[in-house]
Chain A
Amino acid sequence: MSRRASDVAPAPWARWTILGVVGALFAIPIVAMVEFTLRTRDGITFDRWTALAEGLASGSRTYRMLGEGIAVSLGLSVVTAVLIVAILVPTMVLVRLRVPRLQRVLEMISILPISIPAIVLVVGLAPVYASIARVVGSSAWPLALAYAVVALPFAYRAIQAELRLVDVGTLTEAGRSLGAGFTRTLVEIVVPNIRRGILTACILTVAIVLGEYTIAALLNRIVLQTALVQIQQADAYASVIVSLVALAFAFVLLLVIAIAGGGQPRATQPKAPKTKKDPRA
């Protein structure tokens, strides 16, 4: 932060108050959840955590569905993130370079999933998935396609924000003039310069996939969230513990975004990501 920014910043006491209030708002439910899983009549114990871990590890019947849900959701989040980046990045770069007037159309399309409620989306998706199920069975993997649609607005925004800061036209032309083909230019020149946008898009996608319930539930697929709801009836503690872990995981991901974005390139770091000043930095 520059000096000028500190001139308009609130006084230290105000800053700490704001931080305290906001922090408490977030911390109280989480602390309550932790306390809920630890408290017994005999005091504090980690028994329920170890029991859950053992249950998941041994694959006992109660926890089998939960274990499956976690595995499927993690797998789905990776597949969806890869899918969305592989489709979005070349499309956005190509549209920007070759048919810039389609950029607004693309932007509008990317907003659509936000304006359509998940339940409406499912009504449209259900027949499609019914025919998919006839071909490849009722596994959860095709959900990646639906999730890619749901995550589209967020991924698009994240990548677009970075793409805007880069003179893609000149950089690709320079790359190609030096003998790199289009694909090579895309991978070696464009992608490294929008790395942060891609990373943000991936992490947002992962967060969305891990938290998605409606579509999976309505299409009767077992993922983390649907498994949590199921198991809640059998073991309320397990569902809270897994929610806590999922929350911690999301927090770590956000931390990764912050760290990846915070570092300015240095001469000593050969793979520094950016040069242009980021207005958000």
Chain B
Amino acid sequence: MTAPRPQTATTIDLQQVVKRYGSHTALDSVDLTLAPGELVALLGPSGCGKTTALRCLAGLEDIQEGRILMDGVDVSATPIERRDIGIVFQAYSLFPHMTAAQNVGYGLRMRGVGRAERETRVAEGLELVGLAHLGERFAHELSGGQQQRVALARAIVTRPRLLLLDEPLSALDAKVRVSLRDEIRRIQQELGITTVFVTHDQEEALAVADRVAVMRAGRIEQIGSPEDLYRTPANPFVADFVGLSNRVAGIVDADGFAVRGERLPVLGAPALGAGVALVRPEHVRLAATGIAATVVTSAFLGSIRRTTVDLGDGTIVAVQHDASEVHEPGDAVHVAFTGAPVVVEPSVDHGEVAAA
């Protein structure tokens, strides 16, 4: 493999960035700082502004307010071709009339790199993505995964200050997606390029990113390491979007969250009164005593088994447990909470909680 190039990675700073389309605010004063060499994933449902954020970073969209800094220099008004960035797009974006090698060499040609050096670096770039042998192929002669690899090589071969990945894996099938995802991470770490990875797939974000920024409606809801987001979500939206969560109704009081005779510690400071807690499946266990429940389904997931149970009033809860414990639908079981802290959202329907 190619030795990592000495590279001084870039700091990226978004300050109070606002982007509007007419009356719609796509980015609502977004603040985001990327440390040199860091990979930050922008995660969120479609329309949350993650792609807009990436396009503003790229210079493909103008911003109305705020600043974008690269190493402290304001680039908000710099056109894309002078920002020195590399982008891998969601859609296949190889130039159809050029070979893979010509595609990879294009950015170098634009930067006036001489022919001999260009050829060496193109070869290195293709080798880095494992396609050294396919340099003479055209895009239509490559599979989707190979095309995205070439696109990645094309984006990084110029040693850009910032690498932007706009859902680069979403057009690929599951198996290729996972292997390319890991490869992107390996290459990014090897080169130490500051990188923004946009995705709607939480598994993808958690797997590759140093930090994940969860976005909703043009704002960053929470940014933190994958572990932080999973263990201590800042709010119910994040808890719901990152990982699986059960929704269980109860009452918030001064001591925590009271639910069916048990008391769970809460994250943050939710409003007192009726609320719905988001409980991870691994924070619910099958127990000898506890809350009576009826098994609805049970799925074997390899080392573990996920059983959904009905708590008797229509509340469906997924329980994650050892695969050796098997229950059939209709079985009467008991479940208990492990006591892990939960996020609580205020209940909209008070009647439901009163009944519970």
Contact = CB atoms under 8 A, between A and B. Distances in A.
B86 A177 contact: yes
Contact of A274 (B93, B96, B155, B158): B96
Contacts of A179: 81-82, 84, 107, 110-111, 158
A94 B1 CA distance: 42
A181 B86 CA distance: 15
Nearest to B85: A177
Contacts of B81: 176-181
Interface stretch (B39-47, B114-122, B134-142, B308-316): B134-142
Contact of A170 (B80, B91, B102): B91
Nearest to A173: B60
Interface residues of A, number: 27
Contacts of A174: 87, 89, 93, 95, 151, 154
Contacts of A178: 81, 86, 106-107, 110, 154, 158
20 contacts: A167-B93, A170-B89, A170-B92, A174-B89, A174-B154, A175-B95, A177-B58, A177-B81, A178-B81, A178-B86, A178-B106, A179-B84, A189-B95, A265-B138, A267-B138, A267-B141, A270-B102, A274-B96, A274-B97, A275-B139
Contacts of A180: 81, 106, 110
A87 B113 CA distance: 33
B101 to A, nearest CB: 10
A171 interface: yes
Contacts of A267: 99, 136-138, 141
A249 B212 CA distance: 65
Interface of B: 58, 60, 79-82, 84-87, 89, 91-93, 95-97, 99, 102, 106-107, 110-111, 136-141, 151, 154-155, 158
Nearest to B160: A177
Contacts of B151: 174
Question: Which of B84, B85, B140, B154 has the most C-beta atoms of chain A within 10 angstroms of its own C-beta?
Answer: B140
Given A167-B91, A173-B58, A274-B96, 20 more contacts: A170-B91, A170-B92, A173-B87, A174-B93, A176-B79, A177-B86, A177-B87, A178-B81, A178-B86, A178-B110, A179-B107, A181-B81, A184-B110, A189-B95, A192-B97, A265-B96, A267-B99, A267-B138, A267-B141, A275-B96
Contacts of B85: 177
Contacts of B136: 267
Contacts of B93: 167, 170-171, 173-174
Interface of A: 166-167, 170-171, 173-181, 184, 189, 192-193, 195, 265, 267, 270-276
A53 B182 CA distance: 73
A203 to B, nearest CB: 20
Nearest to A191: B97
Contacts of A195: 97
A179 to B, nearest CB: 4
Contact of B140 (A166, A192, A265): A265
Nearest to A181: B81
Given A178-B107, A179-B81, A272 B138 contact: yes
B141 A193 contact: no
A273 B97 CA distance: 6
A270 B99 contact: yes
Leading 6 A-B pairs by shortest Cβ distance: A179-B110, A178-B107, A275-B96, A275-B140, A192-B97, A174-B93
Contacts of A275: 96-97, 138-140
